């Protein structure tokens, strides 16, 4: 089974674990054995069962007491008073990610992959835009974020991604806490839906606004059962239809979802406070249960992985992997320290590209747990994100030219919004004097995420560029001047 999302997320996890959760581009020539991965078939669980046991409310986070300055040493006669020493800053390589992650409480409990982005901490980092390039090729990003004119880091304070089956994009659960007026979010979603040849009708249920994008062509099947739901506290979710009863009123005889993941989404700030310096947390759990068979991997597979990335100009990355046994953890540590080091040393080109990353990372093992941590400079972090963006494009079949056109379209939309001073709807108001990016053609686009209508000129995976389309509409809407009469 080879699907693009499987290759992206699984390879990023397995190959990335080699040098710390996806910090290498293996296009440089590092020869890994062919990895044969077979997934266990995922059966959609009954939400009544999934949500039967509500996880407990997250613990309140108590701020540590302020550090007291050290008592200055006694001064000698004639000497100036000695200045107190500033308290030493804890080393994030030792402290980051030490608390057990609870990110998995922000998504459906049957999911095995969770990602939590604290956008409000990331947006001011010098390499923040490079992180966008890693996400940009994903189908949901093209559909909702770029299609709606959103800026993923400026318009959203928090983002959650979860999935029980990474092979199927329609299984993906998305949630954001936005900082825009609700009516602007509605308009942006409508714009994104329109680009794919679909329509959305909003309805109110129990005081909650929700809608299901459906093909405008009645003969075209609706292949994505997810609904867009606008909750309280400026939280929007993109969720499968099976979970709607729990979001709205809960199953018969059960209380409303006050203790499950939906209620937790309104407390994203509290979950972020558990790791006060983290910009991103990724949790992969029950890995062995999700994979029926793995062959060719040169080390034992962990069962639980937590990746934490610091929101800092010089970020620290920490990977915590829990194995099924102490022996498995020991075997992985041996492979990492001995075999991987030998592989890097044997080929000069590989060492030149990847050796510096390996040297930055430190591994420690305690029982069945392995911890890999390292701190990168701003320039090194920038380089790593370039690697990941290239890997993302290759796996999702996006050419560099397509990615560049998308990037320019996003920059154009952001300029039209006056860098956030205007809402997303302003991104589609194309000035007559501004040149538009060239649209991606269907031949250049990857496989469609949604089947387009028969008369559509482009696939939905292509996601026609909002700026270009708006410019065309603006020009078409401008009346031509009436022809002047010729003189007699």
User: Is residue 229 a contact partner of residue 247, using CB atoms and an 8 Å limit?
Assistant: yes
Is the sign of the CA dihedral 19, 23, 29, 34 positive or negative? positive
Q: What is the pLDDT of residue 7?
A: 35
What is the number of other CB atoms lying within 10 angstroms of the CB of residue 296?
A: 10
Name the token pair of 379. 């320039």
- CA–CA distance, 304 with 299 (Å, rounded to integer): 15
Phi and psi, residue 346, nearest 5°: -75, -25
CA-to-CA separations, 463 to 115, 171, 458, in angstroms, rounded: 24, 20, 8
CA-to-CA separations, 84 to 70, 262, 357, in angstroms, rounded: 6, 48, 37
CA-to-CA separations, 256 to 6, 32, 244, 247, in angstroms, rounded: 34, 49, 11, 8
Q: What is the pLDDT of residue 336?
A: 93
Q: Which stretches of the chain drop beneath a pLDDT of 70?
A: 1-88, 249-259, 292, 430-488
Q: What is the pLDDT of residue 477?
A: 42
- CA–CA distance, 319 with 302 (Å, rounded to integer): 12
CA 427 to chain centre: 23
- CA–CA distance, 371 with 355 (Å, rounded to integer): 19
Name the token pair of 257. 């979802």
Q: Could you tell me which of 96, 112, 93 has the C-alpha nearest to residue 104? A: 112
Q: Could you tell me which of 186, 209, 210, 192 has the C-alpha nearest to residue 449? A: 192
Q: Could you tell me which of 368, 306, 315 has the C-alpha nearest to residue 103? A: 306
Name the token pair of 118. 């604290």
Largest separation between any pair of C-alpha atoms in the chain: 108
- CA–CA distance, 125 with 154 (Å, rounded to integer): 12
Pairing of strands 226-230, 113-117: unpaired
* DSSP state letters, 35-79: PEEEEPPPPPPPHHHHTSSPPPPPPPPPPPPPPPPPPPPPPPTTS
* DSSP state letters, 287-319: HHHHEEEEES-SSPPPSEEEEEEE-SSS-EEEE
Q: What is the pLDDT of residue 249?
A: 62
Extract the runs of DSSP E, i.e. beta strands, from 231-366: 235-240, 278-284, 291-295, 304-310, 316-322, 362-366
- The three-state DSSP-derived secondary structure of 129-164 is HHHHHHHCCCHHHHHHHHHHCCCCCCCEEEEEEEEC
Report the predicted TM-score, pTM, of the whole model to 2 decimal places.
0.73
Q: What is the pLDDT of residue 343?
A: 85
What is the number of other CB atoms lying within 10 angstroms of the CB of residue 261?
A: 28
* pLDDT tens track for 97-156: 888 889 999 998 888 899 999 999 999 999 999 999 999 998 899 999 999 999 999 999
The three-class DSSP label of residue 178 is strand
User: Is residue 403 a contact partner of residue 15, using CB atoms and an 8 Å limit?
Assistant: no
User: Is residue 168 a contact partner of residue 134, using CB atoms and an 8 Å limit?
Assistant: no
Q: What is the pLDDT of residue 87?
A: 61
DSSP 226: E
The three-class DSSP label of residue 96 is coil
Q: What is the pLDDT of residue 453?
A: 34
Q: What is the pLDDT of residue 379?
A: 93
What Rg, from alpha-carbon coordinates, does the chain have?
25
User: Is residue 316 a contact partner of residue 92, using CB atoms and an 8 Å limit?
Assistant: yes
Phi and psi, residue 111, nearest 5°: -75, 155
* pLDDT tens track for 315-345: 999 999 999 999 999 999 999 999 988 888 8
Q: Where are the alpha helices (DSSP H) in 82-219?
A: 92-95, 119-122, 128-135, 139-140, 147-148, 182-195
User: Is residue 374 a contact partner of residue 360, using CB atoms and an 8 Å limit?
Assistant: yes
Pairing of strands 113-117, 173-178: unpaired
């Amino acid at each position: 089974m080879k699907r693009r999302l499987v290759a992206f997320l699984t390879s990023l996890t397995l190959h990335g674990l080699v040098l710390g959760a996806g910090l290498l581009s293996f296009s440089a020539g590092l020869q890994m054995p062919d990895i044969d991965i077979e997934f266990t078939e995922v059966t959609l669980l009954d939400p009544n069962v999934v949500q039967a046991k509500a996880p407990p409310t997250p613990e309140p986070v108590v701020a540590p007491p302020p550090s007291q300055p050290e008592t200055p040493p006694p001064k000698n006669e004639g000497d100036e008073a000695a200045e107190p020493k500033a308290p030493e800053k804890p080393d994030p390589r030792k402290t980051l990610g030490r608390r057990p992650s609870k990110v998995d409480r922000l998504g459906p409990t049957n999911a095995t992959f969770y990602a939590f982005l604290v956008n409000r901490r990331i947006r001011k980092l010098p390499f923040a835009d490079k992180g966008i390039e890693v996400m940009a090729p994903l189908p949901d990003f093209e559909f909702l974020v770029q299609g709606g004119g959103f800026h993923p880091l400026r318009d959203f304070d928090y983002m959650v991604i979860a999935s029980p089956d990474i092979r199927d994009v329609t299984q993906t659960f998305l949630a954001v806490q936005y900082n825009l007026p609700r009516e602007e979010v509605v308009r942006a979603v409508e714009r994104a839906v329109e680009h794919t040849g679909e329509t959305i009708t909003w309805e109110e249920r129990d005081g909650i606004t929700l809608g299901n994008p459906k093909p405008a062509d009645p003969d075209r099947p609706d292949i994505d059962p997810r609904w867009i739901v606008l909750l309280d506290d400026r939280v929007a979710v993109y969720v499968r239809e099976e979970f709607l009863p729990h979001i709205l009123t809960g199953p018969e005889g059960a209380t409303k979802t006050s203790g499950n993941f939906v209620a937790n989404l309104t407390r994203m700030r509290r979950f972020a406070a558990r790791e006060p310096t983290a910009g991103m947390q990724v949790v992969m759990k029950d890995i062995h249960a999700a994979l029926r068979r793995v062959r060719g991997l040169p080390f034992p597979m962990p069962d639980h992985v937590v990746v934490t990335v610091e929101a800092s100009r010089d970020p620290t990355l920490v990977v915590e992997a829990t194995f099924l046994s102490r022996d498995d953890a020991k075997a992985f540590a041996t492979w990492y320290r001995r075999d991987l080091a030998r592989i890097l040393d044997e080929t000069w080109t590989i060492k030149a590209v990847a050796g510096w990353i390996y040297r930055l990372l430190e591994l420690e093992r305690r029982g069945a747990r392995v911890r890999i941590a390292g701190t990168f400079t701003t320039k090194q972090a920038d380089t790593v994100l370039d690697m990941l963006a290239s890997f993302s494009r290759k796996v999702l079949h996006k050419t560099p030219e397509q990615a560049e056109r998308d990037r320019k379209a996003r920059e154009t939309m952001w300029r039209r919004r006056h860098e956030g001073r205007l809402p997303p709807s302003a991104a589609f108001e194309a000035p007559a004097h501004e040149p538009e990016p060239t649209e991606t053609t269907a031949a250049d686009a990857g496989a469609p995420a949604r089947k387009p209508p028969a008369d559509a000129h482009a696939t939905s995976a292509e996601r026609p560029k909002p700026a270009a389309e708006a410019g065309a509409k603006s020009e078409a809407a401008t009346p031509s001047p009436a022809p002047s009469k010729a003189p007699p």
